[in-house]
Amino acid sequence: MISTLGSLFFSEVMEFPPCSLCWYQRIAMYPLCAVFLVGIYQGARATLAFATPLVAMGWLTALYHNLIHWEIIPESASPCREGIPCSIRYIEWLNFVTIPLLSLTAFTMLALLLIKTKRMMADEK
């Protein structure tokens, strides 16, 4: 929920237009709010089944986006051909915290929570 509200804050309040990779990360993040909300009532097994692919896709996209920011992958290899470049840095807190890094951190935390949940379910058997 925090990531969803944060991305909406950056685009709607701060008026930072998202690049293509930002949109792909949003496509993976936004449904997770509903998946986890439904998961409260459906249980961990159903939540894992729906959340894991979204978190994995979002994490890989966020990692790719950060590799562009860190100049490990050239900008020419990004899907941002027109409009907002994928390498743009709207924020840079403490000289290293960017919006793609915030996204990567959020997806990493969610992945770790999903792994922990899966291990707890395995221990219950």
Dump pLDDT digits (tens) for 14-41: 999 999 999 999 999 999 999 999 988 8
Query: Domain containing 14: what range?
Result: 2-124
pTM of this structure: 0.91
pLDDT digits (tens, 9 = 90+) for 111-122: 999 999 999 888
- Per-residue pLDDT at 125 exceeds 70: no
68: domain CATH number is: 1.20.1550
Give the least confident one: 2-6, 14-18, 25-29, 82-86: 82-86
Asked if residue 47 lies in contact with residue 39, where contact means CB atoms within 8 angstroms, the answer is yes
Total structural domains within the chain: 1
How many C-beta neighbours within 10 Å does residue 92 have? 12
